[in-house]
Amino acid sequence: MSARRLAGAALLALIPAAAAAQDTPTLRDAVAAGEPPAYIGMRCAGFFAGGLAAFGDDLPEDLRTRTSNFVALLVVTTVATLEEGGLDRPTAEAQVTDGLVQWTGFYEAHMRATPNLDADPLYAADSADCISIVSG
């Protein structure tokens, strides 16, 4: 296996496919532990996509559109980041797609299962951090 593929496999191994929220560090804790920019992009894309999956029907159209645009921006940026790190485009796109699917599923399930998101530390921290990332 090439170094590029090993790096990609290592990145995907960091994504908690079925981890309970209490076992998942907040994004800021993951960043403090040294997660790379691609991880951050995939996780925030999944956060926003998970919110759309969980609550999209209840959101105003303009908010759904803006959130979809955030997801698209994060996906494109994350693919570019992986390419800059040496991955070819198809491999980068595949890794981002896999990460997006896993994080979207994680966040959708977490958001649906959490009755009071405002009081949830994982949601509150990741919401603030991901909004900060797309707001500049």
The widest CA-to-CA distance across the chain, in whole angstroms, is 46
98-130 confidence digits (pLDDT tens): 999 999 999 999 999 998 998 999 999 999 999
Our CA dihedral for 43, 46, 48, 54, rounded to 10 degrees, sits at -140
Mean pLDDT of the chain: 86
pTM of this structure: 0.83
Question: Of 38, 28, 24, 53, which Cα lies nearest the Cα of 99?
Answer: 38
Q: Which residues in the chain come in under a pLDDT of 50?
A: 1-3, 6-7, 9-19
DSSP state of 51: H
Output the pLDDT for position 10.
Answer: 43
Output the pLDDT for position 126.
Answer: 96
